[in-house]
Structure 1
Amino acid sequence: MKTSGNTILVSGGGSGIGLALAQRWHDAGNIVIITGRNAAKLEDAVAGHANMHAAQLDVTDPDAVQAFALDIVGKFPALNVLVNNAGIMGYEDAAAARDLRLAEDTVVTNLLGPIRLTDALIDHLTAQDDSAIVNVTSGLAFVPLPKAPTYSATKAALHSYTQALRIQLEGKVELIELAPPAVRTDLTPGQSTREGYMPLDAFADEVTALFAGEPTPEEILVQNVLPLRDAEANGNVPQVLAMLKNL
């Protein structure tokens, strides 16, 4: 993926990881469009950035995704990079029957959202030079957080989906997976100040450096996520699971 000269769409770009990376891509010489549900938050995020643009989008609404794709391609015909970053995370007690709305919302947002947005833009992206899709998964795609089973499962599924798309789109669109560790954002209550989580700026700086590699790695993995990514290869999944159980 080129480091500059792109037109990049970042879903869930109004805060957290999405916004931190969007700002760095903007500063590196890219046009960046950020999306999210909260229009006011998006406008605040792009204020003062000449080549950052805000576009409201609810990735859980399939009709809205289709309409958005048509509109955004019309406004930004040079769009060549899609970053599927929008996601939600919640803790669940699955030991007894429960209200499944959180689980269902998580699947729709974290898995169907990227699938639908990719599908809506794929014909456009395959026709662009230097096109790429970046799917934001998680270290929990490789070893699940027991108290967040559905979140972990959606990220594992998106990891698998990314691998399959990489084969199907070979020579047409570059597929990159970004798997963050635990980062200090507002994804869950109290996470932005939680001890032991990676500071957001440090994460974004390391990710930016990794994207500058030539060629761009298929998986963008900061050092903090390697214990999760490599757990199966290292044969220590039970030990990592036990550690995650106590978080």
Structure 2
Amino acid sequence: MKTTGNTVFISGGSAGIGLAIAKKMSASGNMIIINGRSEERLRKALKELNNAVAIQGDLSVKADRLKIAEELKTKHPKLNIIINNAGAAFMNDLSDVNNKSAEKAFEEINTNYISVIDFTALTLPLLLQQEDAAIVNVSSIAVFRSNKYLPTYSASKAALHSYTQGLRDTFSENKKLKVYELYPPLVNTEFSAEIGGANGIPASQVADELFVALERNQFEVPVGDTRKIHELVVPITENVTL
């Protein structure tokens, strides 16, 4: 699809991968709308962007999703790309009965999966009015293999992965709407600091590879180490008929 002249909404756009994508898209002549929970962080991020505005709100909250979707409809009727990037992750020791594992899992599932489904449904009518539109869901290398540190986060991203495949199949005959899935590995951001993010790739690399994928209409976007797993797993799953 085209990579300039778009109106792009990015959740979690005030830092990390979201801000890196916002910078890349802003520098390429797109109108950028960043979203986040912190007004202060949004203001700071806007100083690093051109042709950008911010909408404060927490997409994990139904009322905020409705408010944001309505603002996009009324103030940004040319919206044609949404990037569902906002996420929640917790170290979750399943062996600790006092760990509140279910509460952590609930927040991860709500933010990383349920909220994405609802917000996408709320913005779909606007996207479907455009001549060239896209939905980008940011999942993770964790969709392919969980671990003892992030078991419930991995499960929430695996759910997002499955939903994204179904969404892509749903609109496979609509040539105006494309559905992408971005699979970052460990990325050096504040979000991933607790799990050793300092050893990860820079967020700018994720943004660069997404940009190339948009240009090529490459709907599956594995980044860095994710490519190794993706090359093994996806050719098998794509040939399975349910």
**TM-score over 0.5 for the pair:** yes
Match of 1:194 among 164, 176, 198: 198
Structure 1 residue aligned with 2:213: 210
C-alpha distance in 2 between matches for 1:26 and 1:219 = 23
Q: Return the letter of the residue paired with 2:84.
A: N
Match of 1:185 among 178, 184, 189: 189
Q: Return the letter of the residue paired with 2:11.
A: S
* Superposition map of 1:1-247 within 5 A: 1-47=1-47, 49-97=49-97, 98-99=99-100, 100-170=102-172, 171=174, 172-190=176-194, 194-195=198-199, 197-213=200-216, 216-230=217-231, 232=233
> Aligned with 1:93: secondary structure?
coil
Shift of 1:145: 2.9
Q: Return the letter of the residue paired with 1:175.
A: V
C-alpha distance in 2 between matches for 1:106 and 1:54 = 24
Shift of 1:224: 2.2
Q: Return the letter of the residue paired with 1:103.
A: A
Q: Is the 8 A contact 2:189 2:198 kept in 1?
A: no
Deviates more, 1:118-127 or 1:218-227: 218-227
> Aligned with 2:116: secondary structure?
helix
Structure 1 residue aligned with 2:240: none
TM score, norm. by length of structure 2: 0.89
Q: Return the letter of the residue paired with 2:214.
A: F
Shift of 1:233: 6.6
C-alpha distance in 2 between matches for 1:219 and 1:210 = 8
The root-mean-square deviation of aligned C-alpha atoms, in Å, is 2.0
Structure 2 residue aligned with 1:238: none
> Aligned with 1:34: secondary structure?
strand
Measured against aligned partners, the alpha-carbon deviations of 1:173-195 in whole angstroms (never above 9, x if no partner) come to 21000111111011133567623
Q: Return the letter of the residue paired with 1:140.
A: A
CA pair 76-233 structure 1, distance change in 2 beyond 3 A: closer
> Aligned with 1:9: secondary structure?
strand
Q: Is the 8 A contact 1:143 1:228 kept in 2?
A: no
C-alpha distance in 2 between matches for 1:46 and 1:52 = 7
C-alpha distance in 2 between matches for 1:118 and 1:193 = 29
CA pair 194-47 structure 1, distance change in 2 beyond 3 A: closer
Measured against aligned partners, the alpha-carbon deviations of 1:153-203 in whole angstroms (never above 9, x if no partner) come to 1111111101111121221521000111111011133567623x1122333
Give the % identical residues.
35
C-alpha distance in 1 between matches for 2:135 and 2:210 = 16
